[in-house]
Amino acid sequence: DIQMTQSPSSLSASVGDRVTITCQASQDINNFLNWYQQKPGKAPKLLIYDASILETGVPSRFSGSGSGTDFTFTISSLQPEDIATYYCQQYDDLPPAFGQGTKLEIK
Amino acid sequence: EVQLVESGGGLVQPGGSLRLSCAASGFTFSSAAMHWVRQAPGKGLEYVSAISGNGGSTYYVDSVKGRFTISRDNSKNTLYLQMGSLRAEDTAVYYCARDRSFMFSAFDIWGQGTMVTVSS
């Protein structure tokens, strides 16, 4: 099974900061990588698919990049409503696998 | 409005059974592959199972294979997860989700989740 490793596991940043989360796959997954946002007590929400394509309606401050084994998720200017846990997920091979999550907090 | 609504969760004893339902609305259900994803309390997301739009193809993660059965009734726009031989480690919020493309891609619509607690 493909393992997905996110870093950091938690992150504290200030409003307006640029925030970056990385996700590493245990083998080449091409660009078959998605990013989700989950707020406390809520279902996950798809933000980015195929590594870099922004889902409809998602603010442009969110972006993704990478291919192969190394991927990056960026919030260009952190907003208070971005407080959540973020997950990457690969779908290059079965089973689809999620990273362990990155909990983002406001400093 | 595109929506998924799960139901059927609850408290069940180890070894017991439970059937979850996921009612879909606002999109052509029969054209969409569907998935179940679970989240144990305080933990991350874990993939569980998938079914194609016509129900002809299914997939299970190893930890539930032989115990869980995914199915769908396209005439009722409803997805199911029949869970048997339940274990404490199956305790989680269970989410249904729609695949945005083919059978395994991104999950673009999620339900609110239903809690399953396996305990004596």
The verdict on a CB contact (< 8 Å) between B107 and A97 is no
Q: How confident is the model at residue B44 (pLDDT cuts 50, 70, 90)?
A: very high
**Tokens describing residue A3:** 């393992």
Buried (b) or exposed (e) across B16-46, using 16+ Cβ within 10 A?
Answer: eebebbbbbeeeebeebbbbbbbbeeeeebb
User: What's the mean per-residue pLDDT of chain B?
Assistant: 97
A90 has a pLDDT exceeding 90? yes
Strands B68-73 and B78-83: antiparallel
Rounded Cα distance, B74 and B54, in Å: 8
Q: Which residues have CB under 8 Å from B29's CB, separation 6+?
A: B72, B74, B77
The answer to whether residues A36 and A87 touch, using CB atoms and an 8 Å cutoff, is yes
Cα torsion B94, B99, B102, B105 to 10°: value is: -80
Cβ-based burial of A65 (10 A; exposed 0-12, middle 13-18, buried ≥19): middle
End-to-end, the C-alpha distance of chain A in Å comes to 36
Sign of CA dihedral B107, B108, B109, B111: positive
pLDDT tens digits for range A71-85: 999 999 999 999 999
pLDDT of residue B54: 95
Q: Least CB-CB distance to B110: which of A32, A43, A55?
A: A43
How much is the average pLDDT of B32-38?
A: 98
Rounded Cα distance, A70 and A91, in Å: 14
Q: How many CB pairs under 8 A join A and B?
A: 56
B102 has a pLDDT exceeding 90? no
Residue of A nearest to B108 (CA): A46
pLDDT of residue A9: 98
Rounded Cα distance, B93 and A31, in Å: 29
pLDDT tens digits for range B63-80: 999 999 999 999 999 999
Q: Is A99 on the interface with B (CB under 8 A)?
A: yes
Q: Show residues of chain B in contact with A89, CB under 8 Å.
A: 45, 106-107
**Tokens describing residue A89:** 């997920």
Q: Give the length of chain B.
A: 120
pLDDT of residue B82: 98
Give me the half-sphere count of Cα atoms (radius 13 Å) on the Cβ side of residue A39: 8
Which residue has 């609850």 as its token pair? Answer: B10
Q: How confident is the model at residue A92 (pLDDT cuts 50, 70, 90)?
A: very high
Q: Compute how many other C-beta atoms are within 10 angstroms of the C-beta atom of residue A31.
A: 16
pLDDT of residue A14: 97
Q: Least CB-CB distance to A55: which of B59, B108, B110?
A: B108
pLDDT tens digits for range A33-75: 999 999 999 999 999 999 999 999 999 999 999 999 999 999 9
**Tokens describing residue A38:** 């989950």
The C-alpha of A55 sits at a distance from chain B's nearest C-alpha, in angstroms, of: 8
Cβ-based burial of A68 (10 A; exposed 0-12, middle 13-18, buried ≥19): middle
Q: How confident is the model at residue B103 (pLDDT cuts 50, 70, 90)?
A: confident
Q: Show residues of chain A in contact with B37, CB under 8 Å.
A: 44
